[in-house]
Structure 1
Amino acid sequence: MKLIMRADDLGFSEAVSLGILKAVKDGVITSVGLMPNMESAQFGYELIKDCDIALGQHTNICVGKPLSDPRLIPSLVQANGEFCSSKEIRAREKDTINIQECEIEIEAQLLRFQEITGRNPDYFEGHAVFSKNFFIALENVAKRHGLFFCNPALDKEWEKQNGIVGLPFFKADEQGLYNPQQYMEENLHYIEENACCVAIFHPGYLDHYILTHSSFTHVRAMECDFLCSEWLKKWLAQHQIELVDFRNYQDIAL
């Protein structure tokens, strides 16, 4: 049984990035997604650049400012040139994201990822926007550059082709929290029944930016503690679950 422990949102803010570092060094995270357009992206990368993890591009089209000219991507931005929020995008009756415009921004974020890290991402996926057009654009750019496009939990065909099954997303309570021990126990059968699974988390500490720009707040600090907990480490050992990362599956995907 193999499990990829993925942490999203590196670079979202300095505090989030510090929490992710904690979850890597003292916890069980094996793969980390960097948001190239965010102001703290360089800061986040510097924190984890020497860690033995898979580093992916967590492409972001719903927080902050785009890296491409806003005039070239009108379906992605507000009048002030910043991205439309994920909440606003999810409220639309139709998927109005333009694939070609989306590819322009994805390419710009890939270039920034390369500028920051000096290399290509180990895997390639998207942040918070569940749009078919967004996924098509991501896959198109990934194919163009020979990158490992990832879409577990949302695309059953992708899971079948790549041999990686995404654990279901957690169900939050009224405070936006959940019981992570219960979550792992309830989803153990997925890990036992499949060759490889991926669990997606958003560990992080909190600062003013994240408190004002994300619906994920206290859950980040809770997950950070959980991912470093002795309970989780013992649970993984008890069930003989081997931790791997997306680099183990690049050859299969490409």
Structure 2
Amino acid sequence: MARRLIVNADDFGLTAGVSRAILKAHREGILTSTTFMVNFPWAGEMAALLAGATRLGVGLHLNLTTGAPVLPPDQVPSLVGPDGRFVRDLLRLLRRVRPAEAEREWSAQLERFVALVGRLPTHLDTHRYLQAWPPLCRAMLAVARRYGVGAVRVLPPDVFPPGTFPRWSPAGPVLRAVLRRTAAMIRKSGLRAPDRTLAGDFDLPGLLDRLDRAGEGATEIVTHPGEVDDELRALSSLREQRAVELAALTAPAARERVERLGLQLIHFGDL
């Protein structure tokens, strides 16, 4: 069986610097796919940057924690604070979110994506891995089915590398148990998804290790390249790591490893 590889960058559209870095990682490196955050006022400008990247797969990065909703805030009250913007605290969001409101907001985000890009996204995934929570996984799958999006990201229990969580912390076992449930939901949905997904921060040695671990079938490597600037610092806690990942993705050693391993670079639309 062929070894096919999707290298996806989350967060296109978060800032101009993140979007430029993603396009650089595609033009000069091994990046094949990205997912677009469309709920920001500058989304139209970011969509225009995609015009010259005809070989880049573009999916939709469903968002509930950064910026403001596409829908009027009074239509999604469980998703927003008093300022009408998304609740940034993840645990606070999960305690109060009404899945039906998330589904409505994500439907609006998909419709905005189509209006901006002129086609359906290659796939759906979620900002800050919100699809790990079963009610939001169901909402994501419902949106995909309603609009005819054929593929989604899958988060298997081993998606994060060993050492991501301290041994004493219950977070790792709890998350793995939840991911077994949501991964099974996706496998039973009839939608296409990679055979495995590898996520977590990396440098060049870490990226090379992920390439070595891409087995038979399709593998997705989740990445977050970006340019670090004040705009990014205001919107994201993931900052300097983005420059590290950009350097790794564009390193000649990454391309050489892909070729030596015989990996076929694809995007979600090729599944």
TM range (shorter): 0.7 to 0.9
Say if 1:234 and 1:187 are closer, same or farther in 2 by CA, change over 3 A. closer
Q: Tell whether 2:125 aligns with 1:122.
A: no
Partner secondary structure for residue 164 of structure 1: coil
Shift of 1:104: 1.4
d(CA) in 2 for partners of 1:31, 1:102? 24
Say if 1:21 and 1:183 are closer, same or farther in 2 by CA, change over 3 A. closer
Shift of 1:89: 2.0
Q: Across the two proteins, how many residue pairs are aligned to each other? A: 238
Shift of 1:91: 5.6
d(CA) in 1 for partners of 2:138, 2:87? 19
| Bigger shift: residues 30-39 or 44-53 | 44-53
**Partner of residue 156 from structure 1, selected from 180, 183, 192:** 183
User: Alpha-carbon deviations, 1:154-184, whole Å to 9, x = none?
Assistant: 44333586461333322x5xxxxx4342343
Match of residue 111 from structure 1: 111
d(CA) in 1 for partners of 2:26, 2:267? 12
Partner secondary structure for residue 167 of structure 1: strand
- Is this contact kept in 2: 1:10–1:41, CA < 8 A? no
- Is this contact kept in 1: 2:10–2:35, CA < 8 A? yes
d(CA) in 2 for partners of 1:159, 1:240? 27
d(CA) in 1 for partners of 2:210, 2:24? 25
Match of residue 198 from structure 2: 168
Runs of 4+ residues deviating >6 angstroms: none
Match of residue 89 from structure 1: 90
- Is this contact kept in 1: 2:123–2:153, CA < 8 A? no
Shift of 1:233: 0.5
Match of residue 196 from structure 1: 218
User: Alpha-carbon deviations, 1:92-125, whole Å to 9, x = none?
Assistant: 7x65321111111111111211111122111122
**Equivalences for residues 8-27 of structure 1 within 5 A:** 8-27=10-29
Q: Tell whether 2:68 aligns with 1:65.
A: yes
Q: CA RMSD in A?
A: 2.0
- Is this contact kept in 2: 1:61–1:76, CA < 8 A? yes
d(CA) in 1 for partners of 2:187, 2:263? 19
Match of residue 245 from structure 1: 267
**TM-score w.r.t. structure 1 length?**
0.86
d(CA) in 1 for partners of 2:123, 2:134? 19
Match of residue 50 from structure 2: 48
Say if 1:159 and 1:179 are closer, same or farther in 2 by CA, change over 3 A. farther
d(CA) in 1 for partners of 2:10, 2:183? 21
d(CA) in 2 for partners of 1:168, 1:110? 25
Partner secondary structure for residue 197 of structure 1: strand
Match of residue 175 from structure 1: none
Identity %: 26
Letter matched to residue 194 of structure 2: I
Structure 1 residue runs of 5 or longer lacking an equivalent are 173-177, 250-254
User: Alpha-carbon deviations, 1:208-249, whole Å to 9, x = none?
Assistant: 121121111011111111111101001111111111111112
- Is this contact kept in 2: 1:34–1:55, CA < 8 A? yes
Letter matched to residue 131 of structure 1: W
- Is this contact kept in 2: 1:203–1:224, CA < 8 A? yes
d(CA) in 2 for partners of 1:143, 1:95? 26
- Is this contact kept in 1: 2:32–2:267, CA < 8 A? yes
Q: Tell whether 2:212 aligns with 1:212.
A: no
Say if 1:132 and 1:163 are closer, same or farther in 2 by CA, change over 3 A. closer
| Bigger shift: residues 221-230 or 48-57 | 48-57
d(CA) in 1 for partners of 2:101, 2:259? 46
- Is this contact kept in 2: 1:95–1:133, CA < 8 A? no
